[in-house]
Amino acid sequence: MALRFQVSTFIPAPPETVYKAWLTSKSHAAMTGGAATVNARVGATFQAWDGYISGRNLELESGARILQAWRTSEFTESEPDSRLEILFKPKKSGTTVTIKHSGLPAHGMQYRQGWIDSYYEPMKEYFAPKH
């Protein structure tokens, strides 16, 4: 049975800003700390975290939602891509970013903490107001 989970956090930047950063190679790398090659086109492939993550954009709703076929180098060839849905909801003075990750293989629950440690925490720092 495929695993699924959801994690959310608050990012102190507008939804469109966070969305654009996620889909721009230079910004994605800067906000996570890992090399990334991403693209804001449906059907385009991507890589993140120095090639550890790869996949393809399935649906894009500017400033609101990204749906991707997603996998890591830990997936076996026989394991299908998982589905990653990223939602950007406006909140006073920022955005609630929700990740819905589904279709994961048996080892997939490790990615729940990975999203928090490798994305949410560095993103909060990257988008923090500079004083």
From first to last of its 131 residues, the chain has per-residue pLDDT tens of: 689 999 999 999 999 999 999 999 999 999 999 999 999 999 999 999 999 999 999 999 999 999 999 999 999 999 999 999 999 999 999 999 999 999 999 999 999 999 999 999 999 999 998 86
Instruction: Return the structure tokens found at 89.
Output: 């909801």
Q: How would DSSP label each residue in 2-61?
A: -EEEEEEEEESS-HHHHHHHHTSHHHHHHHHSS--B--SSTT-EEEETTTTEEEEEEEEE
User: What range defines the domain where residue 82 resides?
Assistant: 3-127
Q: What is the pTM of this model?
A: 0.95
CATH code (residue 62)? 3.30.530.20
Task: Give the chain's domain count.
Answer: 1
